[in-house]
Amino acid sequence: MTLLPNIHGVCPPRFAAVKDAFAANFTDAPEGLNEQAARFSVCVGGETVVDLWAGWADAARTVPYGARTLTPVFSTGKAVMALLIATCVERGLLDYERPVASYWPAFGQAGKAVITVGQMMSHQAGLPGFSETVDPAIWFDREAVLERLCAQAPMWPPGTASGYHPITIGFLAGELFRLVDGRSMGAALREDFAAPFGLDLWIGLPEAEHGRVAALRKPASAPDLGTIDAIKTSAFLDKGSAPGGRGSTEWRTMEMPSANLHGTALDLARIMGVLANGGALEGRTVLSPGVRAEMLRERIHGRDKVVPFDVSWAAGLMRNEGLHIFGPNPTAVGHCGWGGSCAFADADAGVSGAYVMTRQSPYLVGDPRAQRLIGALYGGL
The residues annotated as belonging to the active site are: 75
- Name the DSSP class of 324: -
Residue 373 has a CB neighbour count (10 Å cut-off) of: 25
DSSP per residue over 66-127, as a string?
-TT-BEE-GGGGHHHHHHHHHHHHHTTS--TTSBGGGT-GGGGTTTTTT-BHHHHHTT-SS-
Is residue 181 within 8 Å of residue 58, measured between CB atoms? no
303 forms beta bridges with 310
Residue 220 CB neighbour total at 10 angstroms: 12
- Residue 183 CA to residue 287 CA, distance in Å, equals 19
- Separation of alpha carbons 204 and 213, rounded Å: 13
User: What is the identity of the amino acid at 53?
Assistant: W
What does the angle CA 177 – CA 174 – CA 77 come to, to the nearest 5 degrees? 115
- Identity at 177, one-letter amino acid code: F
Amino acid 112 reads K
